[in-house]
């Protein structure tokens, strides 16, 4: 049987992994600089932990794991005289576990289970794969990595400001200079729903508005009509489609438009304070944009909402997050623990950087020096040198077989190894090693000490 991959999943070869590790290392370094601690949770969670946290659509995208053993024992087979078993009724009987859909819900579960041992506010970062039973397409996979940073146990808007700062640091350290960090607040969306006479319908409102870029204003309005929004409500909603300009001007227009909604005014005030804190920090050339149509994670976000898009590429958001006030209460705890976080999608970031050729030249570099002994005597010289190079923190290897020189040089080219050290009888006798630069073809003679000094300088 010919081997194949599950649709929506990918293998990553050494060169791809080197580039992915560059992304991971860059994001991890930023998380650590901002005081976040590492955490990992199992790939599997109880379905009772996952379901009901992402809305109906999210629940449908959960990968379920069949119970071990004879999971179908005792189930009634469908027959002409028996009604078919509905999948929702069948599921609890054959599957109790599922693959995690994101890292936020498992984090909330961890916090509830370990609350007694955590010093609040608790700041954690987590870099692990997640799974979604989605239809694969460009930039959308069934298995992908997320890099999350969350802080739980505080309402301080300084945490939102720090997320803005982290996004800028990560993007710029990755070399993604052209990006937009869109911000909004769930309270503003709630206030809009109240103001147009549809209180409690901000979810339906947001789902339709979120499609504005894809389907246009007219079709958004048609969808809202289909969801039961009256013409009067839609007329009152029209200003949302023309609220644009600088952040200050948008906030001023929102204040005026939503003056009758106390909830919206709180959301506007939170955004203003967050952006003021960012300004006080001294962020250079911020890429923040206030987007009142931004809606994501509305099944659990209650305050700030973030979304990051790279400009100049046809790939969706590469990062997103927000404030959630009630996630831990879903696990039966009476203590209200507010949290806020951001998630970076490594797979989409990789695609962006590949498309824009943003990876540094050495991001995929593995071995820096290849030792090529011609015979047993050359190998006796090469082995201690190999040890010295590695102790000098240089990635080095020795060709394992005593083969023809051309074969060994071809190996170096195939692995893009920049320096090859040739060790034949002359090199053994004189102690002068032949060092060949595989990029330029230039050869020079160096002693072992000179070689060590050369590679550590470069």
User: What whole-number distance in Å separates Cα of residue 244 and Cα of residue 173?
Assistant: 29
388 labelled ligand-binding: no
**110 is known to lie in a ligand binding site:** no
Q: Is 328 annotated as a binding residue?
A: no
Terminal-residue alpha carbon distance, the chain: 49
Do the beta carbons of residue 427 and residue 377 sit within 8 Å? no
150 is in an annotated binding site: yes
104 is in an annotated binding site: yes
97: β partners? 46, 65
Give the Cα separation of 322 and 233 in Å (integer): 27
Between CA 61 and CA 47 the distance in angstroms is 12
102 known member of a binding site: yes
The verdict on whether residue 100 carries a ligand-binding annotation is: no
Location of structure tokens 């692990």: 128
CA atoms within 13 A on the CB side of 174: 34
**How far apart (Å, rounded) are the C-alpha atoms in residues 203 and 190?**
8
DSSP string, 97-158: EEE-S-SHHHHHHHHHHTGGGPPSSEEEEEEEEEE--PPPBTTB-SEEEEEEEEEES---TH
Candidates 342, 312, 327; CA nearest to 124 is 342
Q: Is 296 annotated as a binding residue?
A: yes
Q: Would you say 10 is a known binding-site residue?
A: no
Residues ≥6 apart with Cβ < 8 Å to 15: 364
Q: Which residues are annotated as a binding site?
A: 102-104, 132, 146, 150, 296, 300-301
Q: Which residues are annotated as a binding site for L-histidine?
A: 102-104, 132, 146, 150, 296, 300-301
């Amino acid at each position: 049987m010919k081997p194949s991959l599950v649709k929506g999943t990918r293998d990553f070869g050494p060169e791809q992994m080197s580039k992915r590790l560059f992304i991971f290392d860059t994001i991890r370094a930023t998380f650590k600089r901002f005081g976040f601690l590492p955490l990992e949770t199992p790939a599997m969670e109880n379905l009772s932990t996952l379901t009901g946290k992402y809305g109906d659509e999210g629940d449908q995208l959960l990968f379920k794991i069949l119970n071990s053993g004879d999971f179908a024992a005792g189930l009634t087979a469908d027959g002409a005289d028996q009604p078919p078993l509905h999948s929702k009724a069948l599921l609890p009987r054959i599957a109790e576990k599922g693959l995690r859909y994101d890292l936020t819900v498992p984090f909330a579960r961890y916090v509830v289970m370990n609350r007694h041992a955590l010093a609040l506010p608790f700041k954690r970062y987590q870099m692990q794969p997640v799974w979604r039973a989605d239809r694969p397409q460009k930039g959308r996979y069934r298995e992908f990595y997320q890099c999350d940073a969350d802080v739980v146990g505080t309402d301080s808007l300084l945490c939102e400001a720090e997320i803005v700062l982290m996004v800028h640091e990560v993007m710029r350290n990755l070399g993604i200079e052209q990006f937009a960090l869109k911000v909004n607040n769930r309270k503003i969306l709630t206030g809009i729903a109240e103001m147009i006479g549809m209180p409690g319908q901000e979810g339906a409102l947001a789902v339709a508005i979120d499609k504005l870029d894809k389907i246009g204003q007219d079709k958004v309005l048609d969808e809202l009509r289909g969801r039961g929004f009256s013409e009067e409500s839609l007329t009152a909603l029209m200003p949302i489609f023309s609220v644009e300009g600088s952040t200050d001007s948008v906030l001023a227009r929102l204040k005026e438009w939503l003056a009758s909604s106390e909830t919206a005014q709180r959301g506007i005030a939170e955004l203003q304070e967050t952006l003021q804190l960012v300004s006080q920090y001294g962020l250079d050339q911020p890429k923040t944009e206030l987007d009142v149509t931004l809606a994501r994670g509305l099944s659990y976000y209650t305050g700030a909402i973030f979304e990051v898009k790279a400009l100049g590429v046809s790939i969706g958001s590469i990062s997103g997050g927000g404030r959630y006030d009630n996630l831990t209460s879903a696990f039966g705890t009476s203590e209200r623990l507010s949290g806020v976080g951001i998630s970076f999608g490594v797979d989409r970031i990789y695609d962006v950087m590949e498309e824009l050729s943003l990876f540094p030249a050495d991001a995929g570099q593995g071995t820096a020096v290849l030792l090529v002994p011609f015979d047993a005597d050359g190998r006796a010289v090469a082995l201690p040198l190999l040890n010295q190079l590695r102790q000098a923190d240089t990635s080095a290897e020795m060709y394992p077989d005593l083969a023809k020189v051309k074969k060994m040089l071809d190996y170096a080219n195939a692995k893009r190894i920049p320096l090859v050290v040739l060790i034949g009888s002359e090199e053994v006798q004189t102690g002068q090693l032949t060092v060949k630069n595989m990029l330029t073809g230039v050869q020079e003679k160096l002693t072992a000490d000179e070689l060590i000094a050369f590679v550590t300088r470069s």
